[in-house]
Amino acid sequence: MLTLTVALKAQTTQENTGENNIVIKKYQAKAPPTQFFGAEAFKPTNQTVIRWLGMGGFFINSRGTTMMFDPVLEGFDMPVMIEFPITPKEIPHLDAILISHADNDHFSLPTNKDLLPVTKAFHSTIYVDSLMTNEGFPSFGHIIGGKFRFGNIKVRLTPADHAYQNAYPGMSKRHFKNEDACGFWIDTPDGSIWAQGDSRLMNEHLQMKTPDAILFDFSDSEWHFTFEGALKIANAYPNTPLLLSHWGSVDAPDFAPFNADPEKLKAQVVNPERVFVLAPGEPYVLKRLVK
């Protein structure tokens, strides 16, 4: 598991006003106030409900089949600007946890260790599975394009380009491969969800069938889609709701991976009303697009 503080710490900038030097913190878009939820959100329903957990994480309850994607609910090693909408001890059960890659803002050992007693299975890439196996998790590793299912949900791993570690000598002794990270295509009884994970833009990302919702990796970092890449993906699926993540959570105004402004996306994207700036914990009901 990789920590991100080795890359950069948040800083402030100084503005000289003449007589006084005033320290001004750079503007950073922040998520709306948290909407807390509890065990009631895990009960069976007649629909599929998605909740952003903050950071890059989501909780999905699809007619009683429950899962989390990249949950970080505690123990992160940088200051955060949000309250997490639920604590691990409040979670009654999960059919699965899906992990996109090994960075600790997606693969949180403190969170996953505390969720271990209530989670049936963990799924990820072959590499991340090896890390989870070493921790004693009931985990399964899959190749890109690999498929699995649990409850009423079918999942397929989608490709990612996020082997940034190789670009920074000394950051890791291991040579990373693109297939060490992934996204997930999630088919539910109420529609399809593309959980993108972290990635630079790939041609494959523009050539998928149309999802009914995208758990949208929204970040200005060159090792993510970037703003221009996010626009390309959004406009490739012009009617798909975009549930923004990876923004507005970590107090790091000078650290590009955690910074992006939803208002800028709304100003340029096709059909801006489909950009959902959810509060952590706010429910979103999945609906099939009219084809």
For 81-104, the pLDDT digits (tens) are 999 999 999 999 999 999 999 999
User: Which pLDDT band, with edges at 50, 70 and 90, does 23 fall under?
Assistant: low
The whole-model pTM stands at 0.92
Average pLDDT over residues 160-175: 93
pLDDT score at 12: 34
Spell out the residues 6+ positions from residue 134 whose beta carbon is closer than 8 angstroms to its own: none
**20 — pLDDT class (breaks 50, 70, 90):** low
Q: What is the pLDDT of residue 118?
A: 98
Helix (H) or strand (E) holding 109: helix 109-115
Residues 166, 162: Cα–Cα separation, whole Å: 10
pLDDT for position 86: 98
To which residue do tokens 């598991």 refer? 1
Which pair of tokens denotes residue 152?
A: 């009423």
- The answer to whether 229 and 222 are in contact (CB under 8 A) is no
| 3-class SS of residue 162 | coil
Single out the residue of 36, 122, 29 nearest to residue 81, CA to CA: 29
When pLDDT is averaged across residues 23-29 and rounded to a whole number, the result is 79
Q: How confident is the model at residue 220 (pLDDT cuts 50, 70, 90)?
A: confident
Residues in the chain: 291
Chain Cα centroid distance, residue 250 = 13
pLDDT above 70: residue 6: no
**SS percent in the chain: helix, strand, coil, step 5:** 20, 25, 50
How is 33-76 classified by DSSP, letter by letter?
PP----GGGGS--SSEEEEEEETTEEEEEETTEEEEES---S--
Amino acid at 38: G
pLDDT in tens, 240-269: 999 999 999 999 999 999 999 999 999 999
Determine the pLDDT at residue 8: 42
**DSSP-assigned letters across all residues of 189-253:** TTEEEEE--S----GGGGSSPPPSEEEEE----TTS-HHHHHHHHHHHSTTS-EEEESSSSB--T
Element containing residue 263 per DSSP (H, E): helix 262-268
Of 291 and 211, more confident: 211
Lowest mean pLDDT among 19-28, 29-38, 159-168: 19-28
Whether the predicted pLDDT of 287 surpasses 90 = yes
| pLDDT recorded at residue 7 | 45
Of 64, 94, 87, 101, nearest to 197 by C-alpha is 101
CA distance 241 to 244: 9
60 neighbors 53 (Cβ within 8 angstroms): no
pLDDT at 26: 83
Query: What pLDDT shows up at residue 14?
Result: 32
142 pLDDT higher than 60 = yes
Give the mean model confidence (pLDDT) for residues 202-228: 96
Q: Is 208 exposed, middle or buried (0-12, 13-18, 19+ CB in 10 A)?
A: middle
> In the predicted model, is pLDDT for residue 291 greater than 70?
no
Q: What is the pLDDT of residue 2?
A: 58
What CATH number labels 34-285?
Answer: 3.60.15.10
Give residue limits of the domains in the chain.
34-285
Question: 108-119, pLDDT tens digit by residue?
Answer: 999 999 999 999
Task: Provide the 3-class DSSP secondary structure of residue 89.
Answer: helix
**Higher pLDDT, residue 25 or 192:** 192
Q: Across-strand partners of 186?
A: 155, 193
